[in-house]
Structures are given as C-alpha cells and as structure tokens.
Amino acid sequence: MNDFTLIRKNLFRRKLRAFLMIASILIAFLIFGVLAGVYASFTAGEDRAAADRLVVVNKVNFTQPLPIAYYNRVRSVAGIRQVTYANWFGGYYQDPRNFLVVMAVEPETYTDIYARDIDLTPEARQVFMRTRTGALVGEAMARKWGWKVGDRVPIASNIFSQRNGSHTWEFDIVGIFTAKTQQVDTNFMLFQYDYFDETRSFGKDTIGWLVLQTANPTDNDRIAKAIDGMFVNSTAETATDTEKAFNKAFAAQFGNIALIVVLVVGAAFVTILMIVGNTMALTVRERTREIGVLKMLGFTGGRILRLVLGESILLALLGGLPGLALAALAMSALRPSVSNMMPGFALMGDTVAEGIILMLALGLITGMIPALNAMRLKIATALGRG
Amino acid sequence: MRSLLLQIVAVTTINLKSIPRRILLSLSTIVAVALVVMVLLAFLAMANGFQRTIAGSGSQDIGIVLRAGSQAEINSTVTREQVRLVEDGPGIARGGDGKALVSPELYLVVDGIKHTTKTKANLPLRGIGEQGFTLRKGIVITAGRMFNRGTNEIVVGKGLTREFDGFDLGSTVAFGTTRWTVVGIFDADGSVFESEIWADLPVVQSLFNRNNIFQTVRVRLAGPATIDELKGYNDNDPRMKLDVKSEAAYFADQSSQTTDLIQKLGWPLAIAMAFGALAGALNTMYSSVAARATEIATLRAIGFGGFSAFVGTLIESLLLAAVGGAIGAALTYAFFDGLSAATLGGNFTQVVFSFKLSPALVGEGVLLALIVGLVGGLFPALRAARMPIVAGLYG
C-alpha cells in the first residue's frame, strides 16, 4: 500500500463527512469561477484594447457629438497609421427591450483598424464597402436572432429618426464576422455611416467618436496632445485617450465590480476555510491513536505530515476541480441570456490556473495545523489517549 | 404529553450545554451562516436602495412628455413647436396668470470624476425651465442659493457631491469650453435628482449649441387622473408624436432593469453559498450526534424517547443557524446600511443611491438561515432518534 492509497482511504473513511466537505468546496469554487467570469467580462474591454489605438471623443462627454470635419484634420497629424469614425445608433430589433449594439461606421477604415479583432473575409469586406444599405453582423448576434447573409433586417433606433419620420432602417446583411481572440465580443452590428447621415433627420455631419491607430505606441502621448491641442477653444474640444484607459473608465461607471467580486468570493472562502479547517482538525484528533501506531511502525514525522497534508490537498482538489467544471457549464448555459450586459462571459484559462493555486493554498492552510500536530505527536501520548 | 415536553427540555438543555465541547465546529457553522446572510442582505439592500431612489423620484401628479419610443430622457428630442402644443394641452394645472405649469428641459451628459476610482463618469446636466424647481417634490437648497437666470451658475444634488470630485460650493467647473460656478447644493428627498446638476435652460441651450431644442417637458397635472386627457390630446394631434407618462410610471420603468439584475445576482449567489453552509451545518450536527452517542443511548436506556433526541438535535441546529443569521443581519446593518454608491442608470448617467436594509429583507435573510438550520439539523436528528441503544452504549 503506497502513501496515496493511505491518503485516499483515510479521506473516505467517513464517506458522508468527506462528501459534505467536497460539496462545500465545490460550491466555493463554483462561485469563484462564475464571479471571475463576471469580472473578466467587465474588464474585457481593457484587456482586448490595443496599445496603439487611441479614442477621440468630445471633451464634455463621449455622448456629445464631434463635427465630421475633425476626421480629415486628425488624419493630418504625423505618426498616425489609420483613422476611422463611428456613431452610436441606439438600435433595437422589433421591441425596445431587444436592445442591440449598432454603430454607423466608415466601412473601409473601420474594418482596417479592427482587423486584428474581427475575422472578416476580404470578399465580405468589399461588399460591405460597396453596399449602401449593407450591414456586417457579429457571429454572436447573428446566431441569437437567426440572421444570415442575404437577410434584410429592420432595425429601429431609440434616438434617431429618418427624414420620412420613421424610426426604422432596413439593412442588408452582407457579412458575418467572427472574433479573432476570446476577449472579443461579436454581439454587435456595423452599417455605413454615409447611409445613416443621409437619411437621419437631425445631427447631420456629426460623428460620435474617432478611433485612430498610431504607427508607434510610444508616440501615443504626443499624438493625443497634438489632437486635443488642435481643437482647444473650439466649440467642440476633444479628449483623446488610449483605448485601454477609455474602456477602463467606462467599465468603472457600473460600479466597483472588482470590490463586489472580491468580497463575495472572500466570504465564500472564509466559510469553507472554517468548515474544512475545523473538520480536518477533528479528523486528525479522532485518529490520534492510529497516528501513534503508524509512528511506532516507523513512519517518520515528515511522512505523517505529508499524509495529512496530502489528504487536505486531495480534498481541496476533489471539490475544487469539479467546482470549476460546473462553473464552466453554468456559464455556457447563462451566456446567451446575459450577452448584452456581459459580453465575453466565459471561464478563462487564467481563472483555472488561479483556481488551482487557490485549491493548493486551501489544502495547505486547512491541513497545516492538524498536520503539524500529528507530526509532533509523541507515541506515548498518542497511545495513552482514549 | 407533559413528560414528553420535559424530556425535550432536558435533552435540549444537555445539547446546548455541551456546545462548548464542540465550540470550533459550532462556531464554523455560525460564521458560515452569518456570511451567507450577509452576502444575501448586502445584495438585497443594494437593490432596495437603488429601487427606492429611482421609484421614489416620480410623482403621480407630474406628467413627463418624451419623443415617442425614446424610453429615456437622454434619447428624446422635443421641438419648440411641440413644447407650445403641450403648454396648450388639457389637464395641465395653471398658475394665477393663466400660464401652464410646465418645465421644458434639456438633458445633457457631461464628464465628472468619480471619487472612488478617479475615472471619468457620465453626469446629467439638466437645463430646467422657470417652473423646474416647483415641479419636483421635496427640493430644498441646503447650502448656498438657487442659480440666477441667464447666468453660468449651477446647483448640484447632494448625492452627486458625495460621489464625485470638484462640485464643492463656490468652485468653478468646466464642461468643455464652458465654465460654471456651483452656487448651491440641493436635497431632493433621496431621489434620483440628487445625482443631477441643474442650470438655467436658455443658458444650457446656447452654450451647448442646442438652441430651440428640448428633450422633455414636465407638466404639473391638474390631478393624477387628468393625464388621460393629455394623452388623448397628444394621440389626436399628428404634430405631437410624443409619449405622455406620469413621472411615477416613467421612473418605475427605469428602476426595474437594474433592480432585477442586482436581485438576479444576489439570490443565486446566496443560495449557492447556503448549500456550502448547509454542508457545514450537517457536518457539525453529525459530529454533535456522534459525540453524544453514549449520552443519547444512556438517556434512551433510562426511558427517554427517540423523539426528544430528535427535537433536541434539531433545536441545537436551528439555534446555531439563528445566531448566525442574526449576526449576519447585524453585520450587514453595521457595514452596508446607508453605504453610498453610484452606478449607471437608465439614462446612461450615474445614479447615486444608498444601500437600504428593511425589516422585510432582514426577515428574508433570517428565513434563509433557518432553512439551512432546519435541513442541516433534520438528518442528524433522525440519526440521533434512530440510534440503537446497545451500539450507543458500547460506542
């Protein structure tokens, strides 16, 4: 019988107790996995932001418009590789509750700047650039509504209206794009800014924001200052920031998600630490006599320490790994219903790695004191006891 | 019957007196239950606080007029002509001079710096008409004074000054190229208006190039029922194409989504944690029964019934859970009740609110604790009742 068999047999000596501890650890790691996913989805914007992308918005607030003339003026700044612009559409499909992320964009430059994020066939890109009423739809959105290339979809806006008074625009889906990395969410739709600007009843010749790609990220600061300097004291001053800073500030608007996640996960872990730690201590106390016998048979203190720690670590892994697996399952089940609020809600590799470290830590912490006690136990005391 | 009761009392007393022997394990159950209740109550207090702030903002006798289909003030646009049509509408209260009590308003989003994160956040700047103040209940200037019409002066809500930097009385604030002076701080009964910045409508329109553009019209109704007259008038005039709602109905719609989301997060989390605590409670109670095996068998041998062993164990478990629940509720009250927070509301701007615990919510928390105690005690109690006497005595 090797040590692992001994650890396993010890752990499952009291089946019900082992099962209950595994269940409570499983739940703690389920909560950890799901909340890490929530946190990741709120910070995904920050993670996927490219170092060489800057966002130019109205200094008053990003919901305030900028004149479209800024596009050409910004393009003239040295050190910029590409510039594009976009306008928020406030879209929904059929019912205002079916909120959609829809943006009116300049087709050629927008798909160029975001080529590293979204996968789009060159043919679809060409068709999108040529088709006035064309729209590109992300894979996630297309799947949710059952749309495919060639469909004509009526999309309404809760902000804009057409000159004929209608709030609904008809778009022809000319391409469906997919994400190039896990952080990129594809629950959005793009259509031609020119079509939008010609048909809308107000706000003509204004845009929501500009995105630019610098040739060298070390020039970001200089370029941002140059752009904001160009428009100082104009009616629409600008604020230029890196995409990362912009996305971070936006996520922070929802509240301190990180703090909430840390508090809840902390509460869950304190709970299992108490339960498992005490139970391990109890278990080892119950086995005092046996440990004495093992020592008498020649087991060294170190080996006893390893046996007890091995048991608590095995327990943590037996609860934690299925807990993470369950979290992955729960998240894939929830993903469609939370895709608007929390894009990119999934179990990340980083979370799994952190989870395993936590499991080992949990095993060590809960097992350490009982293991040390067992290691130091004197044979005479152990055999003398009850 | 009396003897059964006495037996239960005796067994329960013995159980409770022996808790110190299992103090760590019993404490771990109490802590586990307390943490579950804390997590649940913190989320519920957050949802409740947010909901009270938003829903408490609306009044039944104020009507709000928006562009049809716009859902929120920020998306709406109303023209000068439409404002005039609304002013002429039926069902609106009129002042002594016969003028309709209405406030056409412009709602803009400006940047502020959030106190906690030092990041930019969306704040609402509202240009209000002459009647704007009187069309909202409970508005009191608590420091400074009201802005003077036609000047770059603003008054800011109390909540906003709490969560965002740079809005102290007397300070100058820049929105783009425009400069404004904070001349007053107002209290609005804890409503969403306390998260807003107010200025004179024509000044906001001209400084932000929105001449003759409005976003909403607020009207004082002659009575809550007259909203239907105004709705009928609006529906029959093709020039209007507006949505007429009571302010109360408007804010009720606004609060539901965020409140739902917070509750949808809070309950599943608390229930999952309750299962974890349940495992702990079961463990504790099984250990308790095992530790008292000889005791229970002895009592049974001298004539005590199985039922008293059952009830005694169950009461021990319920008591531990109730203590945990009470501690959880007390800690939530101490740490979270009244805590100020801000999040993005339905108008795409920050809403400042306070966590608010209520007796009903505490009841929900304690109920969850007792369920954990009941289930956690039930199976160990059954084991205690069914334990064979002989085995127990030799155990």
pLDDT, tens only, B196-216: 999 999 999 999 988 888 999
Question: pLDDT, tens digit, for every residue of B214-235?
Answer: 999 999 999 888 999 999 999 9
**Inter-chain contact B286–A267, Cβ cutoff 8 Å?**
no
Q: Which of A202, A235, A268 is the last residue of a domain?
A: A235
pLDDT of residue A1: 63
My answer on whether A143 and A229 are in the same domain is yes
Residue boundaries of the structural domains of chain B: 2-55+255-394, 69-240
**Inter-chain contact B176–A63, Cβ cutoff 8 Å?**
no
**Inter-chain contact B177–A234, Cβ cutoff 8 Å?**
yes
pLDDT < 50 regions, chain A = none
As beta bridge partners, residue B352 has B342
Q: Is residue A50 part of a domain?
A: no
**Inter-chain contact B36–A254, Cβ cutoff 8 Å?**
no
**Inter-chain contact A274–B280, Cβ cutoff 8 Å?**
yes
Backbone region of residue A141 per phi and psi (left: phi > 0; alpha: psi in -120 to 50; beta: other values): alpha
Judged against a pLDDT cut of 60, whether residue B53 lies above it is answered with: yes
> Could you tell me if B120 lies within 8 Å of chain A, comparing CB atoms?
yes
> Could you tell me if B276 lies within 8 Å of chain A, comparing CB atoms?
yes
**Inter-chain contact B344–A24, Cβ cutoff 8 Å?**
no
Nearest to B177 among A31, A237, A271 (CB): A237
Judged against a pLDDT cut of 90, whether residue B14 lies above it is answered with: no
**Inter-chain contact A275–B110, Cβ cutoff 8 Å?**
no
- Nearest to A357, CA basis, from A316, A326, A299: A316
Q: Find the residue in A nearest to B238 (Cα).
A: A165
**Inter-chain contact B272–A31, Cβ cutoff 8 Å?**
yes
Which chain B residues are within 8 Å of A234, Cβ to Cβ? 177
DSSP class of residue B147 equals P
Nearest to A252 among B25, B117, B276 (CB): B117
Question: pLDDT, tens digit, for every residue of B316-331?
Answer: 999 999 999 999 999 9
Question: pLDDT, tens digit, for every residue of B245-254?
Answer: 999 999 988 8
Q: Is residue A245 part of a domain?
A: no
Helices (H), ranges, chain B: 2-17, 23-55, 80-87, 158-163, 201-207, 227-235, 247-291, 293-301, 306-335, 359-386, 389-394
Rounded to the nearest integer, the mean pLDDT of chain B is 91
Distance CA A119, CA A43 (A): 22
Interface of A with B in 85-124 (CB under 8 A): 90, 96
- Nearest to A65, CA basis, from A247, A249, A236: A236
Tallying the residues shown for chain A, one arrives at: 386
Residue A135 token pair: 């729209």
Q: Find the residue in B nearest to A246 (Cα).
A: B120
pLDDT of residue B4: 87
**Helix axes A3-11 and A301-338, enclosed angle (nearest 10):** 60
Residue A189: how many CB atoms within 10 A of its CB? 23
Strand-strand pairing, B120-128 and B197-200: parallel
CA distance A181 to chain B (A): 27
My answer on whether A13 and A97 are in the same domain is no
My answer on whether A84 and A231 are in the same domain is yes
Nearest to A249 among B29, B120, B208 (CB): B120
pTM: 0.90
pLDDT of residue A77: 94
My answer on whether A359 and A217 are in the same domain is no
Nearest to A24 among B70, B111, B276 (CB): B276
pLDDT of residue B314: 94
CB B286 within 8 A of CB B380: yes
Q: How many contacts (CB atoms, under 8 Å) link A and B?
A: 139
DSSP class of residue A60 equals S
Question: pLDDT, tens digit, for every residue of B135-194?
Answer: 988 899 999 999 999 999 999 999 999 999 999 999 999 998 899 999 999 999 989 999
**Inter-chain contact A268–B279, Cβ cutoff 8 Å?**
no
Q: Which of A188, A206, A235 is the last residue of a domain?
A: A235
Nearest to A61 among B77, B110, B287 (CB): B110
My answer on whether A208 and A267 are in the same domain is no
**Inter-chain contact B110–A90, Cβ cutoff 8 Å?**
no
> Could you tell me if B116 lies within 8 Å of chain A, comparing CB atoms?
yes
Q: Find the residue in B nearest to A338 (Cα).
A: B261
Which chain B residues are within 8 Å of A324, Cβ to Cβ? none
Residue A299, SS3?
A: coil
pLDDT of residue B24: 86
Nearest to A249 among B109, B119, B341 (CB): B119
Question: pLDDT, tens digit, for every residue of B97-128?
Answer: 888 999 999 999 999 999 988 999 999 999 99
My answer on whether A12 and A119 are in the same domain is no
* Residue B227, amino acid: I
CA distance B327 to chain A (A): 14
- Nearest to B187, CA basis, from B225, B151, B160, B217: B160
> Could you tell me if B286 lies within 8 Å of chain A, comparing CB atoms?
yes
Q: Is residue A224 part of a domain?
A: yes
Q: Is residue A351 part of a domain?
A: yes
Residue B232 token pair: 């009928």
My answer on whether A150 and A270 are in the same domain is no
- Nearest to B33, CA basis, from A260, A27, A29, A271: A271
pLDDT of residue B98: 85
Q: Is residue A376 part of a domain?
A: yes
**Inter-chain contact A275–B176, Cβ cutoff 8 Å?**
no
Distance CA B52, CA B44 (A): 12
**HEC assignment per residue over B192-215:** HHHHCEEEEHHHHHHHCCCCCEEC
Which chain A residues are within 8 Å of B350, Cβ to Cβ? 253
CB-based contacts of B222, cutoff 8 Å, min separation 6: B91, B92, B93
> Could you tell me if A5 lies within 8 Å of chain B, comparing CB atoms?
no
pLDDT of residue A326: 96
Residue A227, SS3?
A: helix
Share of chain B above pLDDT 70, in %: 100
Rg (CA), chain B: 30
Q: Is residue A55 part of a domain?
A: no
Residue B89 token pair: 């509408």
My answer on whether A78 and A221 are in the same domain is yes
Question: pLDDT, tens digit, for every residue of A44-91?
Answer: 877 778 889 999 999 999 999 999 999 999 999 999 999 999 999 999
Judged against a pLDDT cut of 90, whether residue B264 lies above it is answered with: no
Q: Which of A203, A235, A267 is the last residue of a domain?
A: A235
> Could you tell me if B335 lies within 8 Å of chain A, comparing CB atoms?
no
> What is each CA distance from B284 to A327, A363, B27, B152, B324, in whole angstroms?
27, 20, 9, 67, 14
Torsion angle, alpha carbons of A342, A343, A344, A347, to 10: 20
Interface of B with A in 163-222 (CB under 8 A): 175-177, 208-209
Q: Find the residue in A nearest to B109 (Cα).
A: A61
Interface of A with B in 21-60 (CB under 8 A): 21, 23-24, 27-28, 30-31, 58-60
CB-based contacts of A322, cutoff 8 Å, min separation 6: A26
pLDDT of residue B395: 54
Containing structural domain, residue A350: 3-45+255-384
Count of domains in chain A? 2
My answer on whether A299 and A331 are in the same domain is yes
Which chain A residues are within 8 Å of B176, Cβ to Cβ? 58-60, 64, 236-237
Q: Find the residue in B nearest to A95 (Cα).
A: B69
CA distance B93 to chain A (A): 30
Interface of A with B in 320-379 (CB under 8 A): 341
From first CA to last CA, the distance across chain A in angstroms is: 27
For tokens 């209740």, name the residue. B37
Mutate to test the interface with B, among A39, A253, A272, A324 (most CBs of B within 10 A): A253
My answer on whether A186 and A292 are in the same domain is no
Which chain B residues are within 8 Å of A202, Cβ to Cβ? 77
**Inter-chain contact B111–A61, Cβ cutoff 8 Å?**
yes
Share of chain B above pLDDT 90, in %: 65
Backbone region of residue B118 per phi and psi (left: phi > 0; alpha: psi in -120 to 50; beta: other values): left
Nearest to B272 among A27, A165, A249 (CB): A27
HSE (side-chain half, CA atoms, 13 Å) at A328: 12
